[in-house]
Amino acid sequence: MRILAVSALALVAATATPAFAQDSAPFSGPRIEAEAGVDHVGSEGNGRSGFLYGGAIGYDKQFNNIVIGADAEITGATTKQGGVEAGRDLYVGGRAGFVVGGSTLVYGKAGYTNARVSFGNDGQNNDGYRLGAGVERNFGRFFGKVEYRYSRYEKIDLNRDQVVAGVGVRF
C-alpha cells in the first residue's frame, strides 16, 4: 500500500512539474475563467443582494513586472427586489497591474458595461461604466482571483457593487 501511495505521489509530481515550469512572463496569453460572487444592486441607499455567476475571457501581456490586458465577460444574477430584477451583465474593458513576488498580480480595471434590468415585464438594457480592482494568483497554467467592482448606470440611477471570486486557465 505504501509503495502504491509513493508511486502515485511521484507520478503526480512528475506530471505537474512541467505545468508549473512557466517562462518569465506567467501572466501573458489568452485566458478563460468561471466567476461567482455577491451582487448588490441599489439606488440612493436602497438595494438588494443576490448571487452572481458567469464567465470571462481575456488576453494579457506581461512586460517585466507590469501587466496590461483586455477582458470581456457575461454574468447573470439572482438579485431581485419587488418587481425589479437584475438580469445579465455584459462587460468589455481593460486592466493593468503589477506582478508581486513573481506569481501574484495586483490590478485595476475599467470599461463599458451593459446590464439588463427588468421592471415588472418591461426589460431594459442600460449602458454604464465599471471600475474595479483585484488580486490574481498564478498556479502554473491555472489561476485564482478575487475582485471588487463598481458599475454605474446613469440612465436609471442605479449602482452595482460586486465581489467576485474566479478560477481559470491561461493558454
For the chain of 171 residues, list the mean pLDDT of each consecutive stretch of 10: 40 41 78 97 81 98 97 94 84 98 97 89 90 97 97 89 97 93
**Which sequence spans correspond to the domains of the chain?**
24-170
Q: What pLDDT is recorded for position 23?
A: 53
Taking domain 24-170, whether its CATH number is 2.40.160.20 is answered by: yes
Q: What pLDDT is recorded for position 45?
A: 64
Q: What pLDDT is recorded for position 4?
A: 36
Q: What pLDDT is recorded for position 21?
A: 43
Q: What pLDDT is recorded for position 121?
A: 77
Judge contact between 118 and 156, C-beta under 8 A. no
